[in-house]
């Protein structure tokens, strides 16, 4: 279902599969430990970054680096994961941007590319997203693209420093995609 060598791009961003040689550049972007309060891994250390990247290198998820075309720099990362060909669905997540790239509309461009590929190319039935219920910024971003809040799984995920996360799910269904595109002017 998923081509693990796919490159997605528009005029603003390019998404290409993560390679091990990207880790030093990503490490420079992820060194602020405060960035990882709502993330399942602390990417501020090379050990944490390497552990987070391992499923990508084992083809368990398609992890992309996000390249900001205006600067040519790696801006962060995002992924397709929890892929279920049988159910015609996947999750978009594991998304983060370096501090200098936040608030510039890059995340919206990334989601646009990924959702268009999922629905218009792959013809999937469902795309899901999940985040920490406390991550108001991520929840707002998901609502801004018209993802539907679906519910909370309590004590769902172990976070850094031993905290148990309540995870909130969002989704977009195939039959909602035309509305999402129209409302987001995609």
Q: Which residue has the tokens 């509305």?
A: 179
The reply to whether 47 falls in a domain is yes
The reply to whether 146 falls in a domain is yes
Task: Convert the pLDDT of each residue in 130-145 to its tens digit.
Answer: 999 999 999 999 999 9
* Predicted confidence band of residue 1 (pLDDT cuts 50, 70, 90): confident
The reply to whether 3 falls in a domain is no
Q: Judge whether residue 68 has pLDDT over 90.
A: yes
pTM of the model: 0.95
The reply to whether 74 falls in a domain is yes
Whole-number pLDDT of residue 70:
96
CATH of the domain at 106: 3.40.630.30
Residue 83's domain comprises: 8-183
Per DSSP, 147 falls in state P
The reply to whether 23 falls in a domain is yes
What's the mean pLDDT in 73-84? Answer: 98
Residue 82 gets the label, from left (phi > 0), alpha (psi -120 to 50) or beta, of: left
The reply to whether 115 falls in a domain is yes
Q: How far apart are CA 136 and CA 130, in angstroms?
A: 12
Domains in the chain, number: 1
Residue 127, C-beta contacts closer than 8 angstroms, at least 6 positions apart: 89, 90, 91, 92, 115, 118, 119, 171, 172
The reply to whether 1 falls in a domain is no
The reply to whether 112 falls in a domain is yes
Q: Judge whether residue 16 has pLDDT over 90.
A: yes
In sequence order, the β-bridge partners of residue 168 are 131, 152
Task: Convert the pLDDT of each residue in 47-59 to its tens digit.
Answer: 999 999 999 999 9
* Predicted confidence band of residue 149 (pLDDT cuts 50, 70, 90): very high
8 A C-beta contact, residue 118 and residue 112: no
């Amino acid at each position: 279902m998923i081509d693990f060598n796919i490159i997605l791009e528009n005029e603003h961003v390019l998404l290409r599969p993560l390679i091990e040689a990207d880790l030093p550049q990503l490490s420079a972007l992820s060194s602020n430990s405060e960035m990882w309060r709502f993330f399942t891994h602390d990417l501020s250390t090379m050990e944490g970054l390497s552990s987070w990247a391992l499923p990508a290198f084992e083809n368990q998820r398609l992890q992309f680096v996000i390249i900001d075309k205006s600067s040519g720099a790696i801006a962060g990362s995002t992924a397709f994961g929890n892929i279920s060909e049988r159910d015609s669905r996947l999750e978009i997540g594991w998304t983060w941007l370096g501090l200098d790239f936040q608030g510039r509309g890059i995340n919206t461009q990334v989601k646009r590319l990924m959702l268009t590929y999922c629905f218009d190319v792959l013809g999937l039935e469902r795309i899901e997203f999940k985040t920490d219920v406390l991550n108001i910024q991520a929840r707002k971003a998901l609502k801004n693209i018209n993802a539907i809040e679906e519910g909370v799984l309590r004590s769902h995920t172990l976070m850094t420093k031993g905290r148990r996360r309540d995870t909130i799910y969002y989704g977009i269904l195939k039959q909602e995609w035309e509305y999402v595109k129209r409302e987001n002017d995609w």
